[in-house]
Amino acid sequence: MKFKVVDLFAGVGGLSYGFAHDEDFEIVAANEILLPMATAYSQNHPSVKMYNKDIKDFSLSDLSNDFGIKVGDIDIVVGGPPCQAYSTVGKRLIDDPRGKLFQEYYRILSELRPKVFVFENVKGLLSMCGGTLIQTIIQLFESLGYRVYIKLLNAADYGTPQIRERVILVGTLLDNEFNYPLPTHYNPETGMIKGLKPYVTLGEAIGDLGVLANGGKTLVYSSEPQNDYQRLMRENAPAELMDHNVSKNGEHLVKLMEALPDGGSPMDVAEELRPTSGFANCYCRLWWDKPSTTVTRNLGCVSSSRCVHPKQPRPLSTREGARIQGFPDNYHFFGTRSERNLQIGNAVPTFLSKAIKDSVKEHLVTKNKHIATSSNPTQMELF
């Protein structure tokens, strides 16, 4: 029997990617309010029932009506509700209208009563409201009887060619311990770690994707795959390369990008080429022999955080952003270039998802599966 999963705030399926590609799991349903994201999700997961609507309108009744699902039938809920609106903590977050999205996540957990849930969010969640917000969130989960574990994970430690730290909370009703995945990769700049592989670099991730002119696109690869990462990305790839295209930039901006050294910033070029505004990490070139910095929805915008191609005078292409997030070349995105980049930038890297899935699977298949009868202290392991 397969473990049943419900995917909330699903995006294009980054957080649930590992579960979707393991035959021991079945994603029954997903919820996503944005139509382009929901469409992309359905293109990649046609067997999953997509509820493209506001999460406040999604509930156990939908699953009961469509699948006959009852309380306790879902094994796992995954999702990362946006927390940008949370600026203060006064009364309990569940009563705070600014916590509406989190309230809905909490509500669905209370309705479905999954054995395990996985909650993902930005690193900044740990410091919001002086650290009191995360404690409030944990207390709410514990009020439902879940034992909650929390850890800050870096996607690069699991084979992602990107430094991307995310807070991962796991809640369980089972009485056996949950263990976070052990790293498979290490940062070579801090010294070798026996038994682990060095971080995957940006060059290793995108080196077989073709050269692009300003505002250009190409449908062909520049070479055969040169390493295991590229081979993995190109498994079952379509005949024509998808989404390897960039927007067109002005002549002055192109000259600035041409002058940037590897990993360089505007401070490394002639003063007349420097932009007159922008933060320190804007208009910056990435490193070829290091992982990418965190990819954002603005991966194709030079004036955003560091996203200039390491060797070419242009920002990252949509497909390069997908590669950096670990989405294979047969993975579909939908809508305008901006909408596709949003789908990529908002996603959880697939390699991190697979590592989390492995830990959840180990937890579920452990012999001791008795339901916890009381709330237990939170297991804190941030660093």
Q: Is residue 268 part of a domain?
A: no
The mean pLDDT value for 55-76 works out to: 98
Concatenated DSSP letters of 3-42 = EEEEESS-TTSSTTHHHHT-TTEEEEEEE-SSHHHHHHHH
**In this structure, what token pair is assigned to residue 240?**
């024509």
| pTM of the predicted model as reported, rounded to 2 decimal places | 0.93
Residue 157 pLDDT > 70, yes or no? yes
**Which amino acid is present at 224?**
E
Distance CA 235, CA 257 (A): 33
Residue in 173, 184, 165 with CA at minimum distance from that of residue 382: 165
- Tell me the per-residue pLDDT of 6-50, one tens digit each, with 9 for 90 and over: 999 999 999 999 999 999 999 999 999 999 999 999 999 999 999
- Judging by DSSP bridges, how do beta strands 185-186 and 3-7 pair with one another? unpaired
Q: Where are the alpha helices (DSSP H) in the chain?
A: 17-20, 35-44, 60-67, 100-112, 132-143, 202-206, 228-233, 251-259, 318-325, 337-345, 350-365
**In this structure, what token pair is assigned to residue 87?**
């600026």
Are 76 and 118 in contact, with CB atoms under 8 Å apart? yes
Between 383 and 167, the higher pLDDT residue? 167
Indicate the helix (H) or strand (E) that contains 197. Answer: strand 197-198
Residue 132 pLDDT > 80, yes or no? yes
Among residues 83, 282, 284, 307, which one is catalytic?
83
Q: Is residue 285 part of a domain?
A: no
Distance CA 234, CA 221 (A): 10
Are 304 and 321 in contact, with CB atoms under 8 Å apart? no
* 17 to 5, 181, 272: CA distances (angstroms): 11, 16, 46
Q: Is residue 115 part of a domain?
A: yes
Distance CA 78, CA 311 (A): 38
CA-derived radius of gyration, the chain: 21
pLDDT at 265: 96
Distance CA 94, CA 57 (A): 17
Residue in 155, 162, 165, 157 with CA at minimum distance from that of residue 183: 157
Distance CA 142, CA 217 (A): 50
- Report the SS3 class of residue 351: helix
Q: Is residue 319 part of a domain?
A: no
Q: Is residue 98 part of a domain?
A: yes
Between 34 and 382, the higher pLDDT residue? 34
pLDDT at 276: 87
pLDDT at 171: 98
Domain hosting 172: range is: 3-186+349-380
- Tell me the per-residue pLDDT of 99-130, one tens digit each, with 9 for 90 and over: 578 889 999 999 999 999 999 999 988 988 88
What's the domain count of the chain?
A: 1
The mean pLDDT value for 88-107 works out to: 65
Q: Count the helix, strand and coil residues of the chain and give each as a percent rounded to the nearest 5.
A: 35, 15, 50
**In this structure, what token pair is assigned to residue 225?**
């795959």
pLDDT at 82: 80
Distance CA 15, CA 36 (A): 17
End-to-end CA distance of the chain: 36
Residue 87 pLDDT > 50, yes or no? no
**In this structure, what token pair is assigned to residue 27?**
């994603």
Domain harbouring 108, CATH code = 3.40.50.150
Q: Is residue 169 part of a domain?
A: yes
Distance CA 322, CA 356 (A): 20
With a CB cutoff of 8 Å and minimum separation 6, the contacts of 219 are 240, 241, 244
Angle (CA) 99-100-103 rounded to 5° is: 85
Indicate the helix (H) or strand (E) that contains 122. Answer: strand 116-122
Q: Is residue 162 part of a domain?
A: yes
pLDDT at 379: 65
**In this structure, what token pair is assigned to residue 355?**
């590592």
Percent of the chain with pLDDT over 90: 84
- Tell me the per-residue pLDDT of 293-310, one tens digit each, with 9 for 90 and over: 999 999 999 999 999 999
What are the residues facing 282 on neighbouring strands?
Answer: 305
The mean pLDDT value for 359-383 works out to: 66
Catalytic, 83? Answer yes
pLDDT at 278: 80
Q: Is residue 301 part of a domain?
A: no
Q: How confident is the model at residue 377 (pLDDT cuts 50, 70, 90)?
A: low
